[in-house]
């Protein structure tokens, strides 16, 4: 007998394979193992899959609370300071081709998957892995990453708050030289025209303008630090701003989604109002159309550059915010029959449209700044903090009514940052309180501990050399580690828990199964996409640097230590779980990869059975 055996299921794993060929098989036939649903398993699943009989879980007061919370988390500072520049740099409108492609084949499927997993199981990022216990370490990984991000992301919000307070003056402090923080080299921007810039120096890289010196010397006090080894004490002004940010976060979260769901009505909607106002003002400025044309210019030749595709892949991933445990946490407070499929489509598209729309508000003002200095758009275009804390403030400082425009702009940055930070902190609180019931019973106290701990760690980033610590955390805390976490998460759901089983869960919630497109994306496309991004992240990683400052070698070791401290939860917990469950090697393995609600079937030895069939002959044999 020449039989080829194929396991075609991702639903259950056979404990044994028949040693002999099944009766009726002939030479050359292909035998497949097809999942056989045990009646006892089905009945157990149907009873367990009903909404749990535990104390009723808190839910959102209104559907809009949930939608605004998801939009508020996904739409953050990167939508304003990163996407527009990437679009401009990578071929303008041509960049939208790979960006949109990755959105539909990976971004939205991962977004949908996390919402569905959280909503069905109604658990945080750690305890949701009762579906496949060996992967629970992934939950701890994303919780740790969300915590690490809070250590530095709240500092950026504190900078915006400091700028907001500094804007309440008749003349914005970053308009001219001659202030106490300015250096003797400070130069009036009017003197840095196109002829001075030449062909090799970008205006955005000049560190001697009033706006650049206000940011680096007036706010950060970077000139008082020699490097990451010389941090100095926390700056009291930034410490107070940071404390106020943490205070707002605490009172937004201490009562759970009942309180945070109300805050987002302001923090998630106000940025759209401000962006619209800034766009209307921006398009009326001289040179604005040049900036917008540069933003939208279609250069299809750029699509032949691998960097464009890499940038599109990483941007779509970070933009949607999958993998931080936030979407799982938010969805866990939904009603069981909520249509999370529609929510995933709506919020994902809103997020990406916001990124594209913000580019018009940004590049209209950059066009004006380039016109004012007689420079090219490429001379003033930049990304990151340099855009929102130097270039854009400098531009609005020259407008009539500059104080009002500055206040409006920094309020927008505050609201963009606050609700994203709320999401990250909620992921930590929900993830750990669901795992440790004592924390859930004392949520207010636990929220206090998380908020205060975040404040203490963030103090490292408000020192004289705090920008170096922030750069290190931004590079390593949520870089390769978050990509790794989501890759393992996608594998765990799609290959171990199983796409078929996952689709049945969705059908129980919403009355319909996901189509073939979604199942293929979850099982093959999304994991392949994530593997590509992980490999790219590792290959393209280099030594740390901030502008011209190159970090010492030991700081890269510390950075990888931070990254590994979260990633090691995955293998660490898997080993722990395998060693602590009872039974033989095979029984332990079965306990580790079988949903907890079916562990009694493992003990009975009747879990994960298969039916054998001969392909093309349609002979169906009994269950093993």
The pLDDT assigned to 51 comes to 42
In this prediction, residue 55 carries a pLDDT of: 59
Confidence band of 344 (pLDDT split at 50, 70, 90): very high
Q: Flag whether 416 is marked binding.
A: yes
- Residue 152 corresponds to which tokens in the numbers above? 């530095």
User: Mean pLDDT across the stretch 262-286?
Assistant: 94
Q: In what helix (H) or strand (E) does residue 291 lie, and over which residues does it extend?
A: helix 288-296
What does the pLDDT read at residue 19? 41
Comparing CA positions, the residue from 424, 327, 355, 414 lying closest to residue 128 is 327
Task: Please tell me the distance from the alpha carbon of residue 217 to that of residue 459, in angstroms, as a whole number.
Answer: 18
What is the Cα–Cα distance from 12 to 603, expressed in whole angstroms? 16
Q: Which residues contact 27 (CB under 8 A, 6 or more apart)?
A: 1, 2
Q: Which of 108-122, 336-350, 468-482, 591-605 has the lowest mean pLDDT?
A: 591-605
195 is in an annotated binding site: no
**pLDDT over threshold 70, residue 401:** yes
351 is in an annotated binding site: yes
DSSP codes joined into one string, 483-552: HHHHHHHHHIIIIIIIHHHHHHHHHHHHSS---HHHHHIIIIIHHHHHHHHHHHHHHH----EETTEEPP
Distance CA 204, CA 197 (A): 10
The bridge status of strand 619-623 relative to strand 610-614 is antiparallel
pLDDT for the residue numbered 192: 65
Select the more confidently predicted residue: 37 or 254: 254
72 annotated as ligand-binding: yes
Residue 231 has pLDDT above 80, yes or no: yes
* 472 vs 475: CA distance, rounded Å: 5
In whole angstroms, give the CA distance from residue 530 to residue 6: 26
On the question of pLDDT at 114 being above 90, the answer is yes
Distance CA 410, CA 418 (A): 12
* Structure tokens belonging to residue 590: 């079965």
pLDDT of residue 543: 86
Q: How confident is the model at residue 201 (pLDDT cuts 50, 70, 90)?
A: low
Residue 235: pLDDT over 80: yes
Q: Distance between CA 171 and CA 63 in Å, rounded?
A: 44
* CA-based nearest residue to 464, from 166, 178, 236, 163: 236
The mean pLDDT value for 284-297 works out to 94
Residue 319 assigned ligand-binding role: yes
Residue 79 annotated in ligand binding: yes
Q: Are 426 and 434 in contact (CB under 8 A)?
A: no
Residue 23 has pLDDT above 60, yes or no: no
Q: Confidence band (pLDDT; 50, 70, 90) for 193?
A: low
149 is in an annotated binding site: no
CA atoms within 13 A on the CB side of 345: 4
Distance of CA 90 to the CA centre of its chain: 22
Please, are residues 103 and 351 in contact by the beta-carbon 8 Å criterion?
no
Which position has the token pair 């001075």? 196
Given a cut of 90, is residue 487 above it in pLDDT? yes
Q: How high is the pLDDT of residue 618?
A: 38
Query: What mean pLDDT value characterizes the chain?
Result: 87
| For residue 116, pLDDT beyond 70 | yes
User: What distances in angstroms separate CA 534 from CA 107, 313, 336, 424, one per listed residue?
Assistant: 15, 11, 33, 22
Tens of pLDDT along 516-561? 999 999 999 999 999 998 998 888 888 899 988 999 999 999 999 9
């Amino acid at each position: 007998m020449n039989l080829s055996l194929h396991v075609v299921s991702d639903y259950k794993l056979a404990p044994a394979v028949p040693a002999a060929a099944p009766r009726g098989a002939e030479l050359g036939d292909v035998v497949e193992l097809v999942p056989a649903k045990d009646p006892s398993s089905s009945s157990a699943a149907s009873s367990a899959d009903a909404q749990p009989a535990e104390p009723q879980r808190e839910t959102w007061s209104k559907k809009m609370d949930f939608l605004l919370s998801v939009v508020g988390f996904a739409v953050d500072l990167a939508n304003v300071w990163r996407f527009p520049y990437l679009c401009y740099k990578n071929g303008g409108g041509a960049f939208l081709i790979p960006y949109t492609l990755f959105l539909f084949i990976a971004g939205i499927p991962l977004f949908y998957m996390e919402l569905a997993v959280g909503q069905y199981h109604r658990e945080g990022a750690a305890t949701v892995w009762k579906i496949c216990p060996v992967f629970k370490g992934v939950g701890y990984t994303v919780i740790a990453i969300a915590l690490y991000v809070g250590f530095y992301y709240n500092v950026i919000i504190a900078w915006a708050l400091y700028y907001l307070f500094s804007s309440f003056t008749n003349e914005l402090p970053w308009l001219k030289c001659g202030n106490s923080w300015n250096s003797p080299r400070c130069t009036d921007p009017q003197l840095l025209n196109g002829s001075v810039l030449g062909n090799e120096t970008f205006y955005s890289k000049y560190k001697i303008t009033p706006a650049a010196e206000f940011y680096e010397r007036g706010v950060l006090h970077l000139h008082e630090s020699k490097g990451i080894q010389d941090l100095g004490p926390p700056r009291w002004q930034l410490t107070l701003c940071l404390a106020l940010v943490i205070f707002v976060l605490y009172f937004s979260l201490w009562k759970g989604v009942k309180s945070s769901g109300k805050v987002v009505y302001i923090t998630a909607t106000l940025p759209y109002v401000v962006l619209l106002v800034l766009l209307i003002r921006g398009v009326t400025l001289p040179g604005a159309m040049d900036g917008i044309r540069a933003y939208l210019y279609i250069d299809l030749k750029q699509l032949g550059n691998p960097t464009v595709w890499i940038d599109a892949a990483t941007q779509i991933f970070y933009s949607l915010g999958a993998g931080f445990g936030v979407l799982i946490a938010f969805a866990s407070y939904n009603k069981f029959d909520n249509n999370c499929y529609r929510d995933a489509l709506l919020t994902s598209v809103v997020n990406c449209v916001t990124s594209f729309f913000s580019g018009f508000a940004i590049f209209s003002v950059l066009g004006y700044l380039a016109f004012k200095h007689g420079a090219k758009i490429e001379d003033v275009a930049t990304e990151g903090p340099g855009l929102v804390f130097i270039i854009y403030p400098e531009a609005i400082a020259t407008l009539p009514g500059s104080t009002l425009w500055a206040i409006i702009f920094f309020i927008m940055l505050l609201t963009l940052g606050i609700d994203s930070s709320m999401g990250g902190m909620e992921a930590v609180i929900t993830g750990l309180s669901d795992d440790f019931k004592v924390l859930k019973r004392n949520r207010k106290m636990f929220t206090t501990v998380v908020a205060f701990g975040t404040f203490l760690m963030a103090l490292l980033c408000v020192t004289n050399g705090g920008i170096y610590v922030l750069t290190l955390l931004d590079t390593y805390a949520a870089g390769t580690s978050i990509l790794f976490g989501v890759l393992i998460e996608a594998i765990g759901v799609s290959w171990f828990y199983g796409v078929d089983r996952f689709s049945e869960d969705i059908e129980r919630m919403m009355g319909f199964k996901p189509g073939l497109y979604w199942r293929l994306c979850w099982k093959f496309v999304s994991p392949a996409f994530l593997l590509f991004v992980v490999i790219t992240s590792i290959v393209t990683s280099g030594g740390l640097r901030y502008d011209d400052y190159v970090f010492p070698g030991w700081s890269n070791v510390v950075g990888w230590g931070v990254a590994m401290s979260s990633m090691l939860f995955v293998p660490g917990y898997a080993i722990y779980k395998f060693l602590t469950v009872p039974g033989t090697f095979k029984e332990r393995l079965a306990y580790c990869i079988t949903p907890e609600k079916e562990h009694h079937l493992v003990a009975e030895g009747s879990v994960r059975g298969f039916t054998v069939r001969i392909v093309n002959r349609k002979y169906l044999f009994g269950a093993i």
